[in-house]
């Protein structure tokens, strides 16, 4: 069996993150989204084909031609605007595992479909079937799939992880244009269901979806909340107080008088200087400096970033090569206590969170004593003046 991973989309809902980083390479708890799934499938397949387009060179440079000695090849998606456009150019005479890179799935659920005797799809029961691709079921097998059904047919949502025979390639190639002038994914799946037993496998474990920037914080929290023991691979100086568990990777240092509360992940080459308060599901990546007298909570701080003294970072995403000036403070809670709304694709979206702080993007510098309203965005290469308020 071979595997195809669909990783070509631009994913504008994650702007500004996806301005410079393709979504498959967003890091969650020590690995990229793509690596989390590759880790769970590579032993079971003879080859992995990654469908690429947007920022494709970054993905190729990350993985080259193998993952853990399992061969990787690349297929570039065409300009046709439908999800499986690139698969039209793929043909081989084996069963195939097809999955999107949007979500991180549990190892147990991926192995369940890999080891399935026939063919099928991972599904999940949902409360509102009208917003999903829904399978109609009979005795645990699919009867048909309907995109966003207007009336109730069933409540099992398609999770975009499939096992097919090679027949799926000829079916995809023969799909006619629909009434809305698109090649419909559902048409190919329904044609396959007509001739094959197609098992619907409800997932046993939760899966992680990253649709919006703030979902990165939830994804880190999911893994950190499951951390049952510490992994310490480098240096912790005297008088560091650690409550619960941490992961401290190679060449990372925790200086004296650091206080860590709840589970925290510190990546390679990072130095946490004295008198730091790290708490509640914080992740700090490669080659960062967290200087003295800072408080950081529930945040993701990416590579080569410096956080200067006396700063407060809560519920935030700080990207690569950012310099946080001395005394940087931002609000993460509205005075009226309502959920924070975020501008996504020119539309205000409810984040369903009462506390969100700020996204600071690549190569940004903040002046000393800068301050911010809740959930603001500093775009690539921007800067603030001393004492500036980001409204």
3-state SS class at 289: strand
3-state secondary structure of 269: coil
Is 248 in contact with 231 (CB distance < 8 Å)? Answer: yes
Beta bridge partners of residue 289, listed in sequence order: 271, 306
Q: Is 33 helix (H, G, I), strand (E, B) or coil?
A: helix
| Cβ neighbour number for residue 381 with a 10 Å cutoff | 11
Q: Using the 8-state DSSP alphabet, how is residue 69 labeled?
A: T
Name the catalytic one among 36, 44, 309, 335.
309
CA R_g for the chain:
23
Length of the chain, please? 391
User: Which residue shows structure tokens 């200086």?
Assistant: 255
Q: Which of 199, 196, 134 is nearest to 171 (CA)?
A: 196
Q: What are phi and psi of 164, to 5 degrees?
A: -125, 160
3-state helix, strand, coil in the chain (%, to 5): 20, 35, 45
Dihedral of the CA atoms 118, 122, 124, 129 (nearest 10)? -90
Provide the token pair at 102: 């949007």
Residue 108, both tokens: 């147990």
Under DSSP, the state recorded for 304 is T
Q: Are strands 341-344 and 329-330 parallel, antiparallel or unpaired?
A: unpaired
For 179, other C-beta atoms within 10 Å of its C-beta total 6
Parallel, antiparallel or unpaired: strands 317-318 and 119-125: unpaired
Two tokens, residue 122? 């991972």
**Quick check: is 36 catalytic?**
no
Phi and psi at 356, nearest 5°, equal -145, 145
Residue 66: strand, helix, or coil: strand
Active site residues: 309
């Amino acid at each position: 069996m071979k595997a195809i991973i669909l990783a070509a989309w631009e994913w504008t809902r994650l702007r500004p993150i996806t301005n410079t980083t393709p979504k498959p390479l967003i890091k969650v708890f020590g690995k990229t989204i793509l690596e989390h799934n590759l880790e769970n499938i590579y032993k079971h397949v003879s080859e992995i084909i990654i469908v690429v387009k947007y920022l494709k060179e970054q993905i190729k440079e990350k993985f080259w031609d193998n993952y853990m000695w399992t061969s990787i090849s690349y297929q570039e998606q065409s300009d046709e605007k439908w999800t499986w456009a690139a698969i039209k150019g793929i043909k081989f005479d084996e069963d195939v595992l097809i999955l999107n890179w949007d979500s991180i799935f549990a190892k147990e659920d991926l192995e369940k479909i890999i080891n399935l005797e026939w063919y099928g799809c991972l599904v999940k029961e949902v409360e509102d079937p009208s917003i999903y691709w829904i399978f109609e079921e009979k005795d645990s097998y699919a009867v048909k799939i309907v995109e966003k059904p207007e009336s109730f047919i069933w409540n099992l949502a398609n999770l975009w992880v499939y096992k097919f025979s090679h027949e799926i390639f000829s079916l995809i190639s023969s799909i006619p244009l629909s009434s809305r002038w698109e090649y419909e994914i559902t048409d190919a799946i329904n044609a396959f269901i007509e001739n094959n037993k197609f098992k619907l496998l409800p997932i046993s474990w939760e899966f992680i979806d990253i649709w919006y920037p703030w979902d990165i914080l939830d994804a880190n929290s999911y893994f950190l909340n499951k951390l049952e023991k510490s992994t310490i691979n480098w240096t912790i100086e005297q008088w560091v107080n650690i409550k619960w568990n941490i992961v401290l990777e190679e060449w990372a240092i925790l200086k004296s008088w650091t206080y860590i509360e709840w589970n925290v992940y510190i990546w390679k080459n990072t130095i946490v200087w004295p008198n730091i308060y790290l708490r509640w599901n914080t992740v700090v990546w490669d080659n960062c400096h967290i200087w003295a007298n800072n408080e950081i909570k529930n945040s993701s701080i990416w590579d080569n970033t410096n956080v200067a003294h006396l700063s407060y970072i809560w519920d935030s995403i700080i990207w690569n090569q950012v310099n946080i000036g001395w005394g940087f403070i931002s609000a993460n809670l509205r005075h009226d206590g309502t959920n924070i709304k975020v501008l996504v694709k020119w539309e205000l979206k409810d984040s369903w969170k009462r506390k969100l702080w700020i996204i600071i993007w690549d190569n940004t510098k903040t002046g000393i004593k800068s301050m911010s309203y809740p959930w603001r965005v500093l775009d690539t290469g921007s800067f603030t003046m001393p004492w500036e308020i980001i409204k």
